Amino acid sequence: MPDIEEVELFSEFLYQIRTFFREKNFLEVETPLLNPYTTPEPYIDSFSVEKEFYLITSPEFNLKIFLSLYKRNVFQICHVFRKGDKSPIHKNEFLMLEWYHLGFDERDLILEIIELLKYISQTFSVFDQNLVFSVKSCKEIFYEYLQTDYTRENLIEIIQANQLVERKNFKDLHNETYDNLFYIVFLNLIEPKLYTSEPLFITNYPKELRGYSKLKNQTESTRFELYWKGIEIANGYNEITNLEEQYREFQSQFQRRLEFNKPIYPISKTFLESFPLPECSGVAIGLERLFMAFRNLKSISEISFCDVWK
């Protein structure tokens, strides 16, 4: 059960986040938590309700529909729901902040996240007042920790050299998809070392891990993530705005889900009809995780009530 002091502080934390966005003339909106469609992303699984409805894993699609209709900077704070193993930093239900800024690219958005975190830290005397931020490309991170880059061949060599899979499976690595190879290396050899005392932005993820981001060049995307104290805090993009490009990405995700023997979910017709989207960048932040980093907490359970009401 969370301590009342943390509950009170978290309440003020949410208030200050809303204040930050209102002072920047963002519009806060409420969009449905229950939808007849959900994300096709292969590594995210939804909760279905009565077979034809799904609890949201993110308000992304609904916010982009709103963005297309009204051309306003927009944010939402809401509960989202994702299947997965429970851990000190993940619950099936958690609180997400998501926002979209018109005319911004991913570099502008990183600066806005820094602005938000500085605003929060300076509002609370119990938070660190002297945050120092780092921005490194994914390639720089690989060279820093593994002295090589993330080509397919190098990933296979790293997996074999560190025996990250059983030796009998070494031959199968050549038939593995790129994203699986990347995550085997990243999650085992890099992410555990990202317990940085200061916020770290990792930019320019490989194009194969682009999500819904635009491509930066032939090998890199405009996707970025924020890590702080060993926790993945944020995931952001310079958003795809072209319907054909977005549809190709959906098709790629459908194929990956089939390879994982996962169901194919319907896509919102309204979402597809909202294209072309206005130029924008967007980011999703896990608010309990961000609060944990500010407070040096070890578990979401120290602030979240999602496992308390049995």
pLDDT in tens, 223-245: 999 999 999 999 999 999 999 99
Is 2's pLDDT higher than 80?
A: yes
Select the more confidently predicted residue: 1 or 99. Answer: 99
- Report strand pairing: 224-228 vs 34-35: unpaired
Average pLDDT score over the chain: 93
Domain at 4-133+202-302, CATH homologous superfamily:
Bira Bifunctional Protein; Domain 2 (3.30.930.10)
Residue count of the chain, please give it.
Answer: 310
State the pTM of this model.
0.94
pLDDT at position 304 is 82
Contact 238, 203 (CB under 8 A): no
Q: Which amino acid is at 9?
A: L
Give tens-digit pLDDT for 27-46: 999 999 999 989 888 888 88
Which distant-in-sequence residues (6+ apart) come within 8 Å of 106 by Cβ?
203, 213, 222, 223, 224, 236, 237, 238, 281
Question: In the 8-state DSSP scheme, what is residue 26?
Answer: P
Structure tokens, 79: 């509960």
Give tens-digit pLDDT for 211-220: 999 999 999 9
pLDDT score recorded for residue 265 = 86
DSSP 298: S
Let me know if 154 is exposed, middle or buried by CB neighbors in 10 A (0-12, 13-18, 19+): middle
Q: Rounded distance, CA 202 to CA 225, Å?
A: 5
Domain ranges of the chain: 4-133+202-302, 136-197
What digits encode the pLDDT tens for the residues 95-129? 999 999 999 999 999 999 999 999 999 999 888 87
137: pLDDT strictly greater than 70: yes
CA distance 308 to 290: 20
Task: Answer for the pair 41, 211: CB distance below 8 angstroms, yes or no.
Answer: yes
